[in-house]
Amino acid sequence: MEIRGLHFDHLIMFRVRDQKENWLEGIKVMEDFPLNHEVYKNGPVLFSFEEEEDGEGLFTYFMPINTEIEFEEGITDFAYLNQYQLNQSLLLRHAQEEFDFRTAYEKVKAYAVAENLSVEDSYICVLLNVYGEYIIDLYVPLKEWSEVQ
């Protein structure tokens, strides 16, 4: 477990409501995006998931690209972000070793309690494509440093 920040410039954002186990579907949409819009992906795809009932929730996917982009009117699933930044987060490398993202998140929360750190109720998964396989890093934002630090 490490404390790390995360920063990207020029990102495409895509939101979709779906079942938790369908997290890979949004990745496929994001990876097809550059082919249709004359931009180049220049970083890993990342996503957050806000769980609701029955495993369904809102996925927000982000993909760094090489330049700014404007969307035509009527396109509501995609948006452009100039910058995405997490200042201080707990990082669990290779979170796919856990049963699911929720289990990995609970592991980070337990570590935070043991270290007297306060974490947010959210997480970001960063998907690193290494030789055709995904390595997943889980970032859990810190609320602020505890008084004990």
> How high is the pLDDT of residue 51?
77
User: Taking the complete model, does pTM exceed 0.85, yes or no?
Assistant: no
Whether 147 is in a domain gets the answer: no
What CATH number did the domain enclosing 116 receive? 3.20.80.10
How far is residue 64 from each of residues 11, 18, 140, 143, 145, measured CA to CA in Å?
4, 22, 20, 25, 29
Q: Where are the alpha helices (DSSP H) in the chain?
A: 23-37, 101-114
Written as six digits, the tokens of 142 are 């810190």
Whether 148 is in a domain gets the answer: no
Encode pLDDT of 81-136 as tens digits. 999 998 899 999 876 666 577 788 889 999 999 999 999 888 899 988 788 777 88
Q: Please give the residue range of the domain that contains residue 26.
A: 2-141
Written as six digits, the tokens of 87 are 């200042």
* Domain total in the chain: 1
Written as six digits, the tokens of 105 are 């998140």
> How high is the pLDDT of residue 114?
93
* Mean pLDDT for the chain overall: 83
Whether 19 is in a domain gets the answer: yes
Q: What angle do CA 21, 26, 31 make, to 5 degrees?
A: 135
> How high is the pLDDT of residue 99?
57
Whether 63 is in a domain gets the answer: yes
Whether 72 is in a domain gets the answer: yes
Whether 57 is in a domain gets the answer: yes
Range of lowest pLDDT (32-36, 46-50, 137-141): 32-36
Q: Which residue has the higher pLDDT, 94 or 146?
A: 94
Whether 92 is in a domain gets the answer: yes
